[in-house]
Amino acid sequence: MTDTPVLSVRNLVVEIPTRHGLLRPVDDVSYDIEAGEILGVVGESGAGKSMTGNAVIGLLDPPARITSGEILLSGQPIHNLERSALRRLRGKKMGMIFQDPLTSLNPLLTIGDQLSETILEHLDISQTQARKRAIAALEEVGIPAASARINSYPHEFSGGMRQRVVIALALCAEPDLIIADEPTTALDVSVQAQIMALLKRLCRDRGVAVMLVTHDMGVIAEAADRVAVMYAGRLAELGAVREVLTNARHPYTAGLMASTPLASQGRKRLRQIPGAMPRLGALPTGCAFHPRCDHAQDQCRQEPGPTLDRCDGRAACWFPIGADTKEEAQA
């Protein structure tokens, strides 16, 4: 394998012009995903994690648009492609999985039709071959009796099975990158684990790069190799999952970890981060997190948050948690 990462996002900025001024739901975000790697993207609602995914796959809802930065797919820039060229890449080179499997499938078409349609769109093969591939795709995601069920409609499957169908659809043209936008949020806990195991297996077997957007720290801990924490459109912290989860450098990540319930903690009261994430139209001056931060100092209130480089590419913080990490994690 080459050293080029499958996905490389460089200083990405997404802006939405509104009557009250320009909003920046994604502000100067950079990260790479290697083949066979799962990058978890976490953050509160509105932190810009889904927006980043949509920007990558080219499905930003106007008037939102990419105003600067680069997106490279296997080294090739895709942020400036025209619509039809980008459409040919979707499905073929990159796929997307949505949150709710109940609404992601067209209720009036059989899953076989939806699969064949996608395969025929991207591969130059016959109807019969497409059908065979569709069945193989269903088998791969663990649909029992796939050849019998291919003519079923989405409503004839359970939620977990439908998410498997959705994954089969996203993968049927064998893309190199999968953007999974909250793939397990709408599912039962037991089904969640199955779906995550499936995604991990596909990622490992096929060498697919996965961008896993979620707000669930448990899912991240279980599945991701690296994690990117987003806050108010910016990257707060980026690093290997074990490092970030056990040894958070950014106070926001530490706060997130402290507010995640753990079975081992017993019935201790959960800590919470005070306040709420600011709306994009009303960001505070300085570091966007400072009003909620225990460690905030004058510099945080006056200067915008630093880039990740300041702290070995790990955390975008003027005063990253270092020596006092232990007491913070214990709290």
Nearer to other proteins, 94 or 300 (CB): 94
The C-alpha atoms of residue 330 and residue 195 are separated, in whole angstroms, by: 32
CB of 261 to other proteins, least distance (A): 29
Nearer to other proteins, 167 or 228 (CB): 167
> Which two three-digit tokens encode residue 313?
């590419």
CB of 229 to other proteins, least distance (A): 25
Alpha helices in 123-188 (DSSP H): 127-140, 146-149, 159-171
- Order of strands, sheet of 226-231, starting from the edge strand that comes earlier in the sequence: 94-97, 177-181, 209-213, 38-42, 226-231, 234-240
- Estimate to the nearest angstrom the gap between the alpha carbon of 257 and the chain centroid: 18
CB of 123 to other proteins, least distance (A): 11
The C-alpha atoms of residue 236 and residue 43 are separated, in whole angstroms, by: 9
Nearer to other proteins, 105 or 311 (CB): 105
CB of 156 to other proteins, least distance (A): 6
Q: Distances from the Cα of 262 to the Cαs of 21, 238, 265, in angstroms?
A: 41, 22, 5
CB of 114 to other proteins, least distance (A): 8
Nearer to other proteins, 68 or 103 (CB): 103
Nearer to other proteins, 84 or 330 (CB): 84
Residues that bind other proteins (CB under 8 A): 57, 59, 87-92, 95-96, 98-100, 103-110, 114, 117-118, 121-122, 148, 153, 155-156, 166, 169-170, 173
